[in-house]
Amino acid sequence: MKWMRCRHGGRELFGVLEGDSLAVHEGELFGEHRPSGERVPVAGVEWLMPCRPGKMLALWNNFRAAAEKNGWAIPAEPLYFVKTPNSHAAHGQAIAAAPPEAGRVAYEGELAIVIGRRAQRVSVEQSAAHIFGYACANDLTAIELLNRDPAFPQWTRAKGFDGFGVFGPVVETDFDWRAASVRTFVGGRERQNYPLADMIFTPPELVSRLSHDMTLESGDVILCGTSLGVLPMKPGTTVEVEIDGIGRLANTYA
């Protein structure tokens, strides 16, 4: 099922995307809910983030191909950072350009994990019960700012500008990441195409390991990291992240 949220006629709605319409539900996405019987055409609605994350955690160096090309060692444990709530953005939302002093900004097409049940120190085997579903993501990065100060890599600042953590357009609950690939299109040209099976730490492993560091709550999002093909983009560029079985996430930068 493809769960989505939108604004229509002054109301915020959620439900299941069925073809070209939203089957509206009542209740809570991560709690009790039921169909209301209302259907709304998706054309013309304002897409919202499919959930409101309390926190968004994002992986670095989680794909073997990228590690090999860049000469990075395979990490012994997940390497991750936090993307602040102001950076969270929805499908179709225009992303304002970072200030000039931030330098060049790059796209990063990724798979996002959405937590559905509180996870605290869960095992790998238990992780599946805590994953609600999966979405597309674009983890924007001010690449020149990241290592500008050699004494302190600025992960939070480089990754935390407004709109730099896009995810959506839906959360797909029936998705096999092992057989899927991420494709990123920049100005209509394919720039990334990599298999999710190349992940160093798989979604169940990520949920388990991160839940041993901090409690994961319903609605929290984990970005699985990216692979080859990351490049800077120009203002005015539209970036689309597509994952078969989930959909296509599209946003214009500035």
Structural domain that includes position 26: 1-48
Based on the fold, state whether residues 97 and 181 are members of the same structural domain.
Answer: yes
pLDDT recorded at residue 245: 96
Euclidean distance between CA atoms 21 and 39, whole angstroms:
6
pLDDT recorded at residue 254: 84
Q: Report how far apart, in Å, the C-alpha atoms of 194 and of each of 57, 85, 235 are.
A: 21, 28, 25
Start-to-end CA distance of the chain, whole Å, equals 32
Based on the fold, state whether residues 91 and 132 are members of the same structural domain.
Answer: yes
Query: How many CB atoms are closer than 10 A to CB 72?
Result: 14
Based on the fold, state whether residues 173 and 117 are members of the same structural domain.
Answer: yes
Based on the fold, state whether residues 53 and 43 are members of the same structural domain.
Answer: no
3-class DSSP assignment, residue 227: coil
Task: Give the mean pLDDT per block of 10 residues along the chain (254 residues).
Answer: 96 97 97 96 96 98 98 98 97 95 96 98 97 98 96 96 98 97 98 98 98 98 98 96 97 94
Based on the fold, state whether residues 41 and 161 are members of the same structural domain.
Answer: no
Euclidean distance between CA atoms 1 and 116, whole angstroms:
14
Based on the fold, state whether residues 126 and 32 are members of the same structural domain.
Answer: no
Euclidean distance between CA atoms 130 and 145, whole angstroms:
35
Based on the fold, state whether residues 137 and 175 are members of the same structural domain.
Answer: yes
We report the CATH number of the domain holding residue 3 as: 2.30.30
Based on the fold, state whether residues 87 and 168 are members of the same structural domain.
Answer: yes
Euclidean distance between CA atoms 135 and 169, whole angstroms:
7
Residue count (the chain):
254
Based on the fold, state whether residues 44 and 151 are members of the same structural domain.
Answer: no
Number of domain units in the chain: 2
Based on the fold, state whether residues 13 and 55 are members of the same structural domain.
Answer: no
Based on the fold, state whether residues 139 and 21 are members of the same structural domain.
Answer: no
We report the CATH number of the domain holding residue 217 as: 3.90.850.10
- Per-residue exposure over 25-54, b if at least 16 CB sit within 10 Å of its own CB, e if not: beeebbeeeeeeeeebebeebebbbbbebe
Contact 75, 200 (CB under 8 A): yes
pLDDT recorded at residue 106: 98
Based on the fold, state whether residues 91 and 177 are members of the same structural domain.
Answer: yes
Question: Residue 123: CB partners within 8 Å, gap ≥ 6?
Answer: 208
Per the listing, tokens 């160096």 go with 61
